[in-house]
Amino acid sequence: DAGITQSPRHKVTETGTPVTLRCHQTENHRYMYWYRQDPGHGLRLIHYSYGVKDTDKGEVSDGYSVSRSKTEDFLLTLESATSSQTSVYFCAISVLLAVTTNTGELFFGEGSRLTVL
């Protein structure tokens, strides 16, 4: 257990509304990631963070923004939700000693299920 908490765990919203998902970790890990999970696609990286105020895009970043103002919190925002963003969203952290030693092992939260009507 890497002390990762996601909120909300379930949310139903309407097209065009803003949505923010929160990932909170308790162990001061530097690297945090947001993935979305869709049937047949596995998990795909949306955005990631390598420190406070340091973020970058993943492979499916369109329509999403992130912020990290504190080490422990990584927020994912959908400025104007669309039905194609209906998905399960996972936050993850990696435990690293240095960037060059990262082999890719991640620890995941339990997911946030978002439905956009």
Contacting positions for other proteins (CB under 8 A): 4, 31, 33, 39-45, 48-50, 54, 56, 58-59, 90, 94, 96, 99, 102-106, 108-111
Spatial separation of the C-alpha atoms in residues 20 and 31, rounded to whole Å: 20
Shortest distance (Å) from residue 97 CB to other proteins: 11
Spatial separation of the C-alpha atoms in residues 18 and 48, rounded to whole Å: 20
Shortest distance (Å) from residue 12 CB to other proteins: 16
Nearer to other proteins, 62 or 98 (CB): 98
Shortest distance (Å) from residue 89 CB to other proteins: 11
Nearer to other proteins, 79 or 90 (CB): 90
Residue linked to tokens 């257990």: 1
Strand blocks (E) in 8-53:
10-13, 19-25, 31-38, 42-51
Nearer to other proteins, 19 or 92 (CB): 92
Shortest distance (Å) from residue 83 CB to other proteins: 21
Contact 116, 86 (CB under 8 A): yes
Residue 97, SS3 per DSSP = coil
Nearer to other proteins, 14 or 110 (CB): 110
CA-derived radius of gyration, the chain: 14
